[in-house]
Amino acid sequence: MKYLKITVYTLLLFLLYLILPVYLCRKASFHPILTVIIFYILAILFASYLYSRYSRKKNYIQYQAQNLQEKINILNEENSRENKSVLALQAKISRYNSLKKIIEEINENLGTDSVSESLTEISFSVISNNQGVCNLYLVDSLTQKLTLFKTRKEDKKLIIKAKEGDIFDLWVLRHNTPLLIEDIKKDFRFDLERLRGEELRPVSSLVSAPFISEFKFLGILRLDNSQTNFFSQDDLRFLMTISDIGAVALENSELFQKTQELAIHDGLTALFTKSYFLERLREELKRSARLDSVFSLLMLDIDYFKDYNDKFGHTAGDIVLKKLSQTITEFLKDYNAILSRFGGEEFCVIIPGLNREDALGLASRLRERIEKERMVLRRQETSVTVSIGLASFPRDGVSEDQLISKSDKAMYEAKQKGRNRVCCT
């Protein structure tokens, strides 16, 4: 069809520009050649007019097409930006939804280990996409130094040598402020020569945020990577949000741990309470029965303790109890002993793996050590003595009631025989 139209148009042009002039020459009343010339001039002028009009329309259409293409490009660019914004918003929503997971996991278990595990896991997966390294440092309450507590690594074989942090962690500790480094080699705050001297693992970019609660520095959560420009300002802001939640969670876990310790430790002597000691005694009975092993139970009572209270006051009595608990703890530190303030001036001790004969010798040495220990009460140097009762598993009993009854009976026997001695039934 297309070729037919072209053929028809060609024939029409042939008739118009070749046959028509010949026809005009024959019919013209004036000079035929002049007629042909005038015809061709008019034809050329008409063709020029048509070409000019066509060119203007073509240019106008091209101009319109360019405008439309520019508008299309602008719309595409805006659409691309909108898509990127939507994706970024979705990523932010996904990130902040992960905070809900942190809070839920923290609420399930307030232990420091569990809290730290949740913080490192979420940070490493959401911010670092499980790439590079995530370290969580806690501040040692005694030395005030950083201690590596939890770590997540892309390379499981990688060894973290900076157990107390490197110069970047110390910078955060010193300034109490978050840190973002896009390219370590271009960061003027740190000495590259010193970095080389410390032989650090390959780190090119990092982001770090402190755990701060009411002006108390608790630790640092840090992410680093061997690639430059791996972390952004958004990563830093999100990490700061996690660290704010983490600071509260770590402080709560610390309070929870202290509460647990207070629940099982005597407030004065720091030894185990009676209720917790009985739980440990039941556990030791099961363990020893299962392993067919032995253990011994000591029950100690301070001789004439009431006289110390009457003579020196109840504050002095507390000093005696604290001093005695320290002496017993120090003396038995190599025996894995379980110590308890059983009530008032009575103490109970479980010594795993020790039979009756060996326990009797150990108890006698402990009694001598206590007798020799000097203390000052109201500017007077004095000392205390103890009466000790001994019972052993399984020789003297196979239940907690039997062992406690036997050791208590032996202790009262020591009291009746003159005190400051060790007895066994």
Each residue of 339-369: pLDDT tens digit? 999 988 999 999 999 999 999 999 999 999 9
Residue with more model confidence, 220 or 24: 220
| Structural Rg of the chain based on CA atoms | 46
Q: How remote is the C-alpha of 106 from its chain's centroid?
A: 11
Predicted confidence (pLDDT) at residue 198 exceeds the cutoff of 70: no
DSSP type of residue 343: E
pTM above 0.95, yes or no: no
**Residue found under tokens 């042939």:** 14
Mean pLDDT over the full length of the chain = 85
d(CA 204, CA 199): 13
DSSP type of residue 17: I
pLDDT at 184 (0 to 100):
87
First to last CA, the chain: 125
Q: What single-letter amino acid sits at 137? A: Y
Residue 161's contacts (CB-CB under 8 Å, 6 or more residues apart) are 199, 201
Specify the pairing of strand 146-153 against strand 133-139.
antiparallel
DSSP type of residue 111: -
Residue 231's contacts (CB-CB under 8 Å, 6 or more residues apart) are 127, 180, 182, 205, 206, 207, 223, 225
**Residue found under tokens 């206590």:** 370
Predicted confidence (pLDDT) at residue 30 exceeds the cutoff of 60: no
DSSP H or E stretch at residue 371:
helix 356-372
Q: Using one digit for the tens of pLDDT, what is the confidence trace for 243-272?
A: 888 888 888 888 877 777 778 888 889 899
SS3 113: helix
Residue 167's contacts (CB-CB under 8 Å, 6 or more residues apart) are 190, 194, 195, 198
